[in-house]
Amino acid sequence: MKKILIIDDVRDRAAWLKASLELADFDVVGVLEWEQVDECSIQAASADVIIVDANAPGRDTLEQISLMSTTLEKPVVVLGARNDQHSIQQAMRAGVSAYVAHTVQGEDLSGIIEVAAARFAEHKRLRDELKEAKGQLVERKLVDQAKAILMTDHGYSEPDAYKRMRSMAMSKGKRIVEIAEAIILAKELSV
Amino acid sequence: MKQAGVLLGTAGIMSMVPMGTRASAWAAGSDAPELKEVKVGFIPLTDCASVVIASVMKFDEKYGIKIIPSKEASWAAVRDKLVNGELHASHVLYGLIYGVQLGIGGQQKDMSVLMTLSNNGQAITLSNQLKDKGVTTGAALKKLVDSEKRDYTFAQTFPTGTHAMWLYYWLAANDINPLSDVKTITVPPPQMVANMRVGNMDGFCVGEPWNNRAIYDKIGFTATTTQDIWKDHPEKVLGSTAEFAQKYPNTARALIMAILDASKYIDDMANRHKVAEIIADKAYVNCPVDVIDQRFEGKYEDGLGKKWNDPNYMKFCSDGAVNFPYLSDGMWFLTQHKRWGLLKTDPDYLAVAKKINQIELYKQAASQVKVSIPKNVMRTSKLMDGTVWDGKDPKKYAASFKVKA
């Protein structure tokens, strides 16, 4: 059973990854944050595979450790770059294969990468959704505020105020929220 | 439009040149960039300026390309993205490109240096704790390391990179073996200062603005600038894969020309403050303008009370003296990789440098933008310990150091 070390500052992602890998029968021997990464902690984990985020600044630290250490079995770093098959293969060719240890078979590795990549992708999707939901809330507030300005300053009814903004957005090729922002800005200027 | 006129002129002259010579130049009329959009990576450091300015001030448009600057979090990511094609080119450590070519610590891939981006402007910072122990020079550091036994930790930015080589060279010149007398670790540049603040390290070598930042934050001082280790040393290059340079030579030339224009612009001291303001932005270096600006304009202080105007501040062009990809510069990194055991055997130094450094491509680009081209592909440099490097006998040079791996 391949021993895997996860290094990730995003805790919930690391936890998911750990659970998923264990479900797929991999042995997760440790979860570290980047701050804890040094030669001792990496050695102590004695992992066959190390999984890190491709975009973590701490990757250079790991480079030095794996390059300079004479006693350390060369770790494999799996990049959680993107979720499509194409970039997983690219990651394997570039970064991952850079560290491939002889003890890890190709099949094991691709299994680990698939699980890791899927988990990274799911985490990203959830975060994006949350961001989008938050964004929508902000947008709705702006539209309401602009509607209120049109109603009090120009005597529109609520449905008419909305219609006015919508037709303006359509004729200008802009989004309603952009029209709303313009109305709010114009109001601020006139005060 | 102006370009076309210049090229027609070239074609006229070219028809009088024998075929053999012509093969190395490119055919007029087919010089349109194969790729219009070029993704160029950079790490948030002062010396990424020429890449950023070529894009922000639209020097790229002049040559029919659009540079898409891409901020990267680590040199390892820069390397991976160059190798897998996510980046076409990047602001990158000179030694890193050579390390990838030779497969040090990773997959081998044929690489290219399209031009040198900068000279000088890095430094070695020591912690204020060392200062409190009376250590302000390399010689004093040597005494302390010998007399007071503990783990001394020094950081650089990438195992095969320039900062590792400057740090090792400086320690070794002070008779401290960087691999056995002290511990060397790798830390991402923006995290250097924070790590020193919490006492994780005694010293580091990194590019600006982080050395100046350490003084500004009152946690360390500059023990030496890298220009005092090697005046006008090569630092960052514009790196790509060999495949990119072969497949898209017109794009590569356009990129070199745009960055040469930007380099000239930055080297005009009247523009430096404006450039500092642009690169200080969150999207680029993300650091207060003041911290960048001082050393960027050659105004140095060392954090020990000394202030000076350094004539050897960070240079971007110097009429091409900075940018020419000298073979001797590239080979120097190989000699140091060998010295420190990153290479187990001597490579064919000259052959490797000739393969990586795209001198023809660079010359074609430089001649188009009226940047001088030196006559010799080697240059002679004298380093801090008095040794002279002229590229003539790299094997002997690599073996000549007393302190080594």
Q: Which tens digit of pLDDT belongs to each residue from B179-203?
A: 999 999 999 888 899 999 998 899 9
**Claim to verify: residue B270 and residue B174 sit in the same structural domain:** no
Give me the domains of chain A, ranges plus CATH numbers. 3-104 (3.40.50.2300), 130-190 (1.10.10.10)
Q: Do A55 and B158 touch (CB under 8 A)?
A: no
Q: Residue B295 above 80 pLDDT?
A: yes
Q: What pLDDT is stored for residue A106 in this prediction?
A: 54
Mean pLDDT of B223-245: 98
For A88-107, the pLDDT digits (tens) are: 555 554 444 444 444 455 55
pLDDT given for residue A96 in this prediction: 45
Evaluate whether residue B13 is within a structural domain. Answer: no
Nearest CA distance, B187 vs chain A (angstrom) = 5
Pair (B271, B367) in one structural domain: yes
Residue B173 within any structural domain of the chain: yes
pTM across the whole model: 0.81
B228: which residues sit within 8 A by CB, 6+ positions away? B312, B384
Beta strands in B257-359 (DSSP E): 299-301, 307-309
B174 shares its domain with B186: yes
Q: Do A59 and B185 touch (CB under 8 A)?
A: no
Q: Which of B202, B229, B256 is the last residue of a domain?
A: B229
Q: Are residues B132 and B190 located together in one domain of the fold? A: yes
Residue B243 and residue B225 in one domain: no
B155 pLDDT above the threshold of 50: yes
Q: Is residue B4 part of a domain?
A: no
User: Is the four-CA dihedral B167, B172, B178, B182 of positive or negative sign?
Assistant: negative
- Chain-chain contact of A63 with B158 (C-beta, under 8 angstroms): yes
Q: Indicate whether B142 and B216 sit together in one domain.
A: yes
Same domain membership, residue B203 and residue B83: no
Nearest to A77 by CA among B359, B177, B77: B77
Q: What are B258-271's pLDDT values in tens digits?
A: 999 999 999 999 99
Residues B176 and B222 in one domain: yes
ipTM: 0.79
Together in a domain, B86 and B190: no
Residue in A with minimal Cα distance to B107 = A98
More confident residue, B214 or A1: B214
Say yes or no: A79 contacts chain B, CB-CB below 8 A.
Answer: yes
Is the pLDDT at A190 greater than 90? The verdict is no
Same domain, B275 and B203: no
Tell me if B9 is assigned to some domain. Answer: no
Given pLDDT bands bounded at 50, 70 and 90, which one contains residue B11? Answer: very low
Final residue of a domain: which of B212, B229, B246? B229
Q: How many domains does chain B have?
A: 2
Instruction: Look at residue B127 and tell me if it is in a domain.
Output: yes
pLDDT of residue B23: 38
Res A58: pLDDT: 86
User: Within a domain: residue B26?
Assistant: yes
CA–CA gap between residue B330 and residue B114 (Å, rounded): 12
In A, residues 21-50, which contact B (CB 8 Å cutoff)?
38
pLDDT tens, position by position, A17-76: 888 888 888 889 999 998 888 888 887 887 777 888 777 888 888 888 877 765 555 555
Partner residue opposite A54 with nearest CB, options B80, B188, B342? B80
CB contact under 8 A, A93 and B85: no
Do A64 and B81 count as a contact with CB atoms less than 8 A apart?
no
In chain B, the residue whose alpha carbon lies closest to the alpha carbon of A67 is B105
- Nearest Cβ partner for B76 among A59, A68, A97: A59
The CATH number of residue B205's host domain is: 3.40.190.10
Q: Residue B232 pLDDT more than 90?
A: yes
Q: Is B312 helix (H, G, I), strand (E, B) or coil?
A: coil
Say which residues have a Cβ less than 8 Å from residue A73's Cβ, sequence separation at least 6: A46, A48, A101, A103
Q: Beta-carbon neighbour count of residue A175 at 10 Å?
A: 11
B63 domain residue, yes or no: yes
Looking at the structure, tell me whether residues B289 and B358 fall in a common domain.
Answer: yes
Domain that holds residue B295: 19-119+234-325+345-399
pLDDT at A70: 56
Please check whether residue A67 touches B, CB under 8 A: yes
Give the H or E element holding residue A122: helix A106-154
Task: Identify whether B333 is part of a domain.
Answer: no
Q: Which helix (H) or strand (E) holds B206?
A: strand B203-207
The residue among B229, B253, B276 that closes a domain is B229
